[in-house]
Structure 1
Amino acid sequence: MTFRSKLILLVAVPLCALVAVTVPGVTSRLAVVRAETRAQHLQAPSAALTQLVQVLDNEHALSNWYLADGDLRVFLQLKAARVQTDGAVAALRSVAGELGAAHADSAASSLGDLLLRMQRAGKTRQTVDTRVATLDSVNASYQDSVTQALNVVDTMGFSLSDANEVANLRDFATVLRLAAAAGQERAVLTAGFAQGRLPSNLLQETVGAVAAQDAYRASFEAQASSSLRGAFAARIRSGGSVSDPVRVLRADALAGRFGGTTVAAQRWYDASTKQTEVLFAAARGVLSESDHFGTGRKNTAQREMYVYGAGALGALLLALGLALLIGRSATRALRRLTNAADEVTERKLPHLLDALQTGGAPSDIPDVTPAPVESRDEIGVLARAFNKMEQAVVDVAREQTSLLRRGVSELYVNLARRNQNLLERQIRMIDA
């Protein structure tokens, strides 16, 4: 593997691991955290709207009762109910900012319209106090207010992108509509029992409210998750058999059996109040379970984000380890090669030159000690080339030393031969 490939591997592998491990996991979990955070911002407005619908239903029932018989005791209860309604409106206004935090702009706009409508409720109340309003107009006014409050809950879902939270909000709204339908029946039949008769228009409203309750309950049971159904059933069971007296009195009213108006109206009001309290408690239970579900998902997603963060940290540590390993490997090889080069330039070459200058024997030139080659990368190639170069220099030096010694020997032989010839000539001349 080349040195360049090692460097690419050093950078690419940890980076790819970091991207592959971290980005998809963190992105998906972050989306869950954001979705659940938005849903949590909707909890307070949803609870406040539930309270408002409940107190509006109660004020509606007492308004119908007072219109029907003008009982002063009922009027005092109506005054107290209006105080509760005003308090619920103030509480709802105080949490309106949560819709902005959840980016529920449509719901915030609808809530603004609802609060403006509630500010104008004084006119309807005045007509009830003077008993100049008709039951139809009062029913329409309160039902429109409740419908507008329910529509705010529906528009909250526009800000949610998570399918689970959209479904949970839908199921909560279904139970809230079930409770509101029971409240509508309560108000209409309160007027019927108070005046001792049920006109055809009120009869139709009663039948419609009962049918709506059955439809909303069936819808919730069919589409809600098991945890939400469990929360709903738990609240219904805790209320006991509150629906039985309501069914009996409803059957009497539909059959035209009203009995004494004041006593019958009180019996119906008490029985229907218990039923609506249980239903609104069930709506709050579903809302609470939805919040519990969302909080659990958010916490799980956050924990998993920490896990992915730890994975990213592990990938970075792996990169550091690889960098250290490859760096040390390259550094060791370079250090050996550097030491070998220093050995050649500082000791071997001067010794070799001395041998050449003094005419030493080839054996005086030391053998080559090659630098160790432990890799096939560029550093290994350089080390092998350096070893070959050093060996070539030594071989050339030995060859030159041998040639030099041979030349000197031949020179001495030639000189000896010439001297011999000269001596022989001198001897012959002397003899002659």
Structure 2
Amino acid sequence: MAGRRRSIRAKIFAIILVPVTALVAVWAYGSVITVQSGLELLRIRTVYDNVVVPAQGVIDQLQAERTLSAGFLGSKATLSPELQEQRQQTDAAVSRLEQVSVQARDATPDAMWGRLQELVTYARGLGSVRRQVDERVLTALEAVEHYSAVAEVGYQVYDRLMITPDIEFIQQAKAVILISRAREVMSQQSALLSGSLAAGRMTKAEYDAFGKMAGKRKLLYELGVGQLDADLAAPYLTLNSSATYRTYSAMENEVADRVVANRALFSGALAWRTASEAMTVAVGGLVGEGSQEIADRALPVARTTLYRIGIAAGLGLLVVALSIFFSIRLGRKLTAEMVGLEEAAIELADRRLPAVVTRLRRGEDVDVSAETPPVTIPGKTVEVDHVANAFTSVQRTAIEAAVDQARMRAGVNKVFLNLARRNQSLLHRQLSMLDGLEQQVTDPDVLDKLFGIDHLTTRMRRHAEGLIILSGAVPGRGWRTPVALFDVVRAAIEEVEDYLRVEVTVPHGPALMGPAVTDVIHLIAELVENATIFSPPHTQVFVRGEVAARGFALEIEDRGLGICADEMEQLNAKLAEPPEFDLADSERLGLFVVGRLAKRHGVRVSLRSSPYGGTSAIVLIPAELMAEGGAQEYPAESMVPAQPTPVLALTPPPDDLPRRVRQASLAPQLRPAHQQPQEDS
């Protein structure tokens, strides 16, 4: 199956489209990636203000509540108003987190948003822990662990802050988170010591837990500070060399290593609390400043990124636009050249060559050089120039071939006409001689043979006239006076070999104008002969005629095998508009002659399937060819009855009846030339 055809314009457009599309795709991909990076940096500020800051507020309130709860559990005092107020502040921080985080929902990564919701859920579920604290069911260490588990969820929110693929930004954020976790451990230490100080002693479990906290705090703090860049690490290095850090670190080591006794520990309770709070506040302040610094860094980076992508996008768009412009311009130029070739080909095929052929058919002389001007296409490329030159040569060859073919066809037509005229003359002489012999011979057997030769000669004359028709000339026979269509049909049937199988049903009144008689006889004879040839010999062929609204209609019907629909459609097309005669197509010579004759007089001939399986030929003779007054009246003995005996008698009549004469049944106009009335020509 052939592929779908495409125009040159479409193919050129496809060639241009591939690289341009690739260029646009690369430009769009780079732009999208860069814009996405810039937008992600801008999202950091939104997430920081609406998620990170309020989440840190919840963690700070949890740390404060944890310290007060541990102190309450270590002491024997009743529930203090300070702890109750702190619980309210924790709940308020959770409510605020719920409210403001909604504003950053679209900018918050899904994993981070999931942990955020877990933080809210756990913080809302502190009621059971608080009841256990109030009922003193928990120890100070257990309370610290419960609150620390909730705070851990908050730090997991920070761990999932993966908004941008910027490695440097992620590294600094992770470092700050590590320091923030170290601060959380410091808060845990402070809470644990708060319970121990209130109780006046530290248990072994509390010593062990404090030692683990001290090691974890140092590790997280050192890792975090070590990953910060110089600007962010400078404040921490200053803190590390301060008296606050040295005091806190020394006391942390003493407690972790169990160097001091409980008595010494609790005698310095005020110093412990002061150092712990100072260190926690200092680290918390630095963590907040570091977080703010990182968030602030994202804004200029985002703006710079967007500015760069704006410039790059503009330049890329300009390059794409220029590429498209020059590609379209080149494509249009090449398309215009190809269209010029196409128009030249169409002009040759649809106008100049048909005009040359028409002139040749009329017998005019054609100047090949004048009819084959060179194809000129302005601005053509080398390849198109070669094609144009080749096309110029092709059109000259085509017109030369048309001229040669026309000359050859004219020569063949002259040969046809010359031979046909000679045969026609000889056949006319032969018919005259046969008529004379038929008048002289009395032997029935000899007379029957002469009738057979007469009938054969009549058919030969029709074939000779067929050659004249093929050559484009007009047969010599003709009449001036109208002839009855009944006689026209009978004369046509007499020119058919198997005429005995033909049954005629044609009214006597309608008549045909004299100039059309010869051609209509020939036309009907060809159709009747086809009907007899292409139907079984034992069947009949029916010729029916009747007056129609637009003239006179004849139907020739056979009882043969019929014609397939496709072939019948092709034959009807040739009958309606007969093509040039093809010497190689001699099988349908009779139908070609019918088409020529029908076109000459405006007669419509069409084939259709017969109800009996055969084929019917419908001949519509236009009203312009019908005689208004009918045919000339002739003696009754010269007319043929509606259901006649055969025109040619194969057996002699009895000696007591008038002897039949060849063609005596025909109207005088249709008799041979030597028997024609004086007005015939």
Could you say which TM-score interval applies, normalised by the shorter chain?
Answer: 0.5 to 0.7
Unaligned runs of 5+ in 1: 128-132, 398-432
Which secondary structure does the structure 2 equivalent of 1:243 belong to?
A: helix
Shift of 1:182: 0.7
Matched, 1:375 2:381: yes
Shift of 1:368: 9.0
RMSD: 5.0
For the 8 Å contact 1:48–1:92, the answer to whether it is kept is yes
Cα gap change, 1:236/1:109 in structure 2, threshold over 3 Å: closer, same or farther? same
Residue 126 of structure 1: aligned partner: 134
Tell me how far apart the structure 2 counterparts of residues 260 and 13 of structure 1 sit (CA, whole Å). 79
Q: Which has the higher helix share?
A: 1
**Which of residues 166, 185, 190 is equivalent to 2:189?**
185
Residue 52 of structure 2: aligned partner: 46
Residue 276 of structure 2: aligned partner: 272
Structure 2 residue identity aligned to 1:113: T
Shift of 1:180: 0.9
Matched, 1:211 2:215: yes
Cα gap change, 1:313/1:121 in structure 2, threshold over 3 Å: closer, same or farther? farther
Residue 235 of structure 2: aligned partner: 234
Residue 58 of structure 1: aligned partner: 64
Tell me how far apart the structure 2 counterparts of residues 283 and 196 of structure 1 sit (CA, whole Å). 33
Residue 148 of structure 1: aligned partner: 150
Residue deviations 1:161-202 (CA, integer Å, cap 9, x gap): 866376555434322220011111112223444454333332
For the 8 Å contact 2:34–2:306, the answer to whether it is kept is yes
Among the aligned pairs, what percent are the same residue? 11
Tell me how far apart the structure 1 counterparts of residues 398 and 181 of structure 2 sit (CA, whole Å). 98
Residue 87 of structure 1: aligned partner: 92
Residue 125 of structure 2: aligned partner: 117
Structure 2 residue identity aligned to 1:137: T
Shift of 1:15: 1.8
Structure 2 residue identity aligned to 1:215: L
Cα gap change, 1:139/1:71 in structure 2, threshold over 3 Å: closer, same or farther? same
Shift of 1:215: 1.4
Residue deviations 1:18-48 (CA, integer Å, cap 9, x gap): 223333x245446645765776665333332
Q: Which has the higher strand share?
A: 2
Larger Rg: 2
Cα gap change, 1:201/1:75 in structure 2, threshold over 3 Å: closer, same or farther? same
What is the TM-score when the length of structure 1 is the normalising length? 0.66
Bigger RCO (CA 8 Å, 6+ sep): 1
Residue 405 of structure 1: aligned partner: none
Tell me how far apart the structure 1 counterparts of residues 77 and 337 of structure 2 sit (CA, whole Å). 103
Residue 328 of structure 2: aligned partner: 323
Tell me how far apart the structure 2 counterparts of residues 76 and 91 of structure 1 sit (CA, whole Å). 23
Residue 109 of structure 2: aligned partner: 102
Cα gap change, 1:119/1:268 in structure 2, threshold over 3 Å: closer, same or farther? same
Cα gap change, 1:99/1:19 in structure 2, threshold over 3 Å: closer, same or farther? closer
Unaligned runs of 5+ in 2: 1-6, 404-681
Residue 245 of structure 1: aligned partner: 247
Residue 15 of structure 2: aligned partner: 9
Which secondary structure does the structure 2 equivalent of 1:185 belong to?
A: helix
Cα gap change, 1:112/1:49 in structure 2, threshold over 3 Å: closer, same or farther? closer
Cα gap change, 1:69/1:111 in structure 2, threshold over 3 Å: closer, same or farther? closer
Cα gap change, 1:368/1:272 in structure 2, threshold over 3 Å: closer, same or farther? same
Which secondary structure does the structure 2 equivalent of 1:242 belong to?
A: helix
Paired residues in the alignment total 378
For the 8 Å contact 1:39–1:102, the answer to whether it is kept is no
Shift of 1:302: 4.2
Matched, 1:198 2:202: yes
Residue 175 of structure 2: aligned partner: 171
Cα gap change, 1:195/1:20 in structure 2, threshold over 3 Å: closer, same or farther? closer
Tell me how far apart the structure 2 counterparts of residues 107 and 317 of structure 1 sit (CA, whole Å). 50
Structure 1 residue identity aligned to 2:289: G
